[in-house]
A and B are shown apart, each in its own frame.
Chain A
Amino acid sequence: MSKNFAKRQVLPGFGITMGYTVTYLSLIVLVPLAALFLKSAGLGVADFWKAVSSPRVVASYKLTFGASLVAATINAIFGFVVAWTLVRYKFPGKRIIDAMIDLPFALPTAVSGIALTAVYSSHGWFGQYLEPLGIKVAYTPIGITLALVFIGLPFVVRTLQPALADLERESEEAAASLGANRFQTFTRVILPTILPALLTGFALSLARAIGEYGSVVFISGNMPMRTEITSLLIISKLEQYDTAGAAAISVVMLIASFGLLLSINLLQHLAGRRYQGAL
């Protein structure tokens, strides 16, 4: 990192904390990730391209990114409603509901996957009523999306809550006094103010969804070309002793995640703050 820290040199400890940060980051994250890049580099450009662009892999990208986008969008909409309700209204059981929002984050993902499958497969509590309507959830892309909604929900709600709590009611009042109705106040005053937080929540939920594995494999049919997510494909490559191929696909995933996170951080930089409680 650059040593251009002339501005606040009054405080001690930059050298040591920065050194420690970079060392620890390197040992735990960067060096192991470098191993991944090197392993895939062993393939050479042509084979690398072949590994990451075969039809089956491309189909898995489409599914993974598509389902993640849909899930993040659903989470942005309903997560907003949930956050709004939790911040602004009072109703029985609110506190416990608020605490439960974080559960998908804490549960082992395999447990989430098994539980969702139990409820939504054709003989499950909900699945048995959906099946006659022609809606199959488990073992289809809908099931994958459902699992991703489940694991992504806390990120949208937890990013939006502080932003909503932070909203200055004065500006809403001002809008109202200028003759805006509630809907106009919402679209013209509230939404623009919380938009950075909403986008951050959306992007976090998306980033989490793209990499998700444990919960999805249980509810997905895992059919090649149709319901096989990219993480599963990596596992499948590994089990066929194709480590370099697995590393190559991992690199693609990693770059996508990194790009997404970088844009979140730039977004927050532009918005002038980082939203805490987001993770």
Chain B
Amino acid sequence: MNASTLPTTLESPESWQVAGPQLRTATEESTWVRWLLVGSTLTFLTLVLFVPLAAIFAEALRKGWAAYFASFNNPNFWSAVKLSFLATGISVPANLIFGVAASWAIAKFDFRGKSLLITLIDLPFAVSPVVSGLIYVLLFGMTGWLGPWLSSHNIQIIFAVPGIVLATIFVTFPFVARELIPLMQEQGSEEEQAAVSLGANGWQTFFRVTLPNVKWALLYGVILSTARAMGEFGAVSVVSGHIRGKTNTLPLHIEVLYNEYNFVAAFAVASLLTLLALVTLVLKTTLEWRIQRDLEEAAKSE
């Protein structure tokens, strides 16, 4: 396993500490430069990241904890939770399977047009959420291609759960594939070829050889997809129809609350999503520690 491809923050040796020993080698910055860099990092992050996040919690707790918790005592909130979990629960596994298939085809084989294919897979990442929603309206809407046919068969895609699921799949489309492809490319296919020549079939090769090598990247991709799926606002907003208690996801429920002057509840739900994301991300960091530890152990045993 190649350490360089891992999404890790390598733990630095003691000598790189900010307030490190006075002696420094030629590959370190002077103490004041280090302090300057750490200082500007913290200032920059405070200005653009920490304070806006703190504002969410401050607004949520403006009327105290009782009001904060009262925000969750609402049937529309719970139906939004259910819908968000449903959309995430369908879109993440769907994209997981896609990501594995795509990375196998792209990383283990050579063919023309690979860069184009990768770019197309990346495309949903750069498409404006507004456009992501619009394309499904154009496809499934009454004025769109399939709308009249679907309607005559009593199938509702947009302004119903399927549209929300599709939009969520679209916006989380590239993340698993994008985590896997570079790693699997780097690893090459020698191990798999050896397995096949020893008589393993495709499934066995994948589960016994490939998967153990990419499991952390796979999990990271799933974590990113989940976080994004729970938080998507723009694309889902276009296809939702905003029927309360029915087609509102958590981010849309926040918008409803905000528009009803229920600012405390809006920020309370937002803070919940923030906490959820934070837990997920701490999970990810823990994951990285484990990769790091595995790597170090592997290095020692070599």
Contacts and interface: CB of A to CB of B under 8 A. Distances in A.
Interface of A: 1-5, 7-8, 10-14, 16-18, 20-21, 24-25, 28-33, 35-36, 39, 78, 81-82, 84-91, 95-112, 114-116, 118-119, 124-126, 146, 149-150, 153, 158, 161-162, 165-166, 169, 172-173, 176-177, 182, 185, 204, 207-208, 210-214, 230-231, 234-235, 238, 243, 246-247, 250, 253-254, 257-258, 260-262, 264-266, 269, 273-279
B251 A111 contact: yes
Contacts of B119: 258, 261-262, 265
A10 to B, nearest CB: 5
Contacts of B130: 211, 213, 231, 234-235, 250
Nearest to A30: B120
Given A2-B113, A153-B48, A173-B26, A103 B53 contact: yes
Contacts of A274: 181-182, 185
B9 A165 contact: yes
Contact of A13 (B4, B104, B251): B104
A253 B123 CA distance: 12
Contact of B109 (A14, A95, A110): A14
A222 B206 CA distance: 51
A36 B115 contact: no
A90 B144 CA distance: 56
Contact of B196 (A12, A110, A115): A12
Contacts of A213: 128-130, 234
Nearest to B195: A11
A273 B274 CA distance: 33
A111 B282 contact: no
Contact of A25 (B48, B120, B186, B197): B120
Contacts of B115: 262, 265-266, 269
A254 B127 contact: yes
A83 to B, nearest CB: 9
Contacts of A11: 108-109, 189, 192-193, 196, 202, 205
Contacts of A278: 178
Contact of B138 (A116, A207, A247, A262): A247
A35 B136 CA distance: 9
A75 B112 CA distance: 34
A91 B131 contact: no
A87 to B, nearest CB: 6
Contacts of B3: 166
Given A8-B108, A11-B193, A90 B273 contact: no
B1 interface: no
B216 to A, nearest CB: 11
- Which of A29, A109, A176 has the largest count of B CB atoms less than 10 A from its CB? A29
Given A106-B231, A110-B251, A210-B128, A276 B179 contact: yes
9 contacts: A11-B193, A85-B41, A90-B14, A110-B254, A118-B55, A153-B48, A257-B127, A258-B126, A262-B116
Interface stretch (B70-78, B169-177, B240-248): B169-177
B265 interface: no
Chain B interface bracket (under 10, 10 to 19, 20 to 34, 35 or more): 35 or more
Nearest to A181: B26
A207 B277 contact: no
B285 interface: yes
Contact of B105 (A2, A14, A250): A14
B91 to A, nearest CB: 10
A275 B182 contact: yes
A265 B240 CA distance: 33
A102 B228 CA distance: 10
Nearest to B47: A126
Contacts of B116: 262
A13 B102 CA distance: 11
A155 to B, nearest CB: 10
Given A3-B111, A99-B281, A149 B185 contact: no
Contacts of B219: none
A257 B126 contact: yes
A50 to B, nearest CB: 20
**Which 3 pairs between the two chains have the least Cβ-Cβ distance?**
A277-B7, A176-B26, A211-B128
